[in-house]
Amino acid sequence: MAKYFCVTLSIRKGNIQGLDSLRESLKNALMNNEAIYIYRGVQSKKVYIGQTKHFLTRNKEHFSGNEKKFNKANFNKVIVLFSAYFNGSALDDVENQLITFFTADNPGTQKQSVQFNSDDVINLTNGNSITEYRGRERISTEVVLPFWENELFPNGWVNTPTIEKLRTQELVKYSPIKSLTKQQNDLIDEVIDNQNQNLRA
């Protein structure tokens, strides 16, 4: 049984359309609840996946003019995902999983410039590093899987109908994105930043 709630909203020039007509409980959730969100520009063919504890505030930050990628993306839709299971570690994990799955959903994937149904995922990172946490499997089976299969796929946000099909693809099967620790991420960053140095101890 699914343990989440989601809402799809229209956006025009960074402003959420019909916000005043939403139920108070939904407006409160958008203001105060931990959430995963996915922006999509139908015409610009751009996608951005993020997480927040205050979606309405975060939306204003994204569209303040300071984030060049948002200035160019012309997002006109956002789907916001809520779950009682969400906390800091769970948000990191779900964001990470969705970035990985959106990447795998496109057969012509390239790192950092990902095609998704001809849409570019414009995240500059693959999400925050994640640590093991209690309830991780439950979040995967009761939130991520039904969200993908019952919301994203039927509404045309993704191409692949099931996560199981994605999991069999090489990108997801062997992806370090979903399992690196903070220490491993730091080590990779150090190697990338110091490519011309011998880093042996």
pLDDT of residue 167: 77
Instruction: Give the structural domain span for 48.
Output: 5-193
pLDDT of residue 118: 41
Task: Say if strands 15-16 and 35-41 run parallel, antiparallel, or are unpaired.
Answer: unpaired
pLDDT of residue 103: 82
Q: Is residue 198 part of a domain?
A: no
> What's the pTM value of the predicted model, to 2 decimals?
0.77
pLDDT of residue 156: 92
pLDDT of residue 173: 55
Helix H, strand E, coil C: the string for 28-78 is: HHHHHCCEEEEEEECCCCEEEEEEECCHHHHHHHHCCCCCHHHHHHCCCEE
Q: Is residue 85 part of a domain?
A: yes
Q: Is residue 199 part of a domain?
A: no
Number of domains present in the structure of the chain: 1
- Provide block-wise average pLDDT over 10 residues at a time, the chain (201 residues): 90 94 97 97 88 96 88 92 92 91 69 44 58 82 95 94 80 53 62 67 52
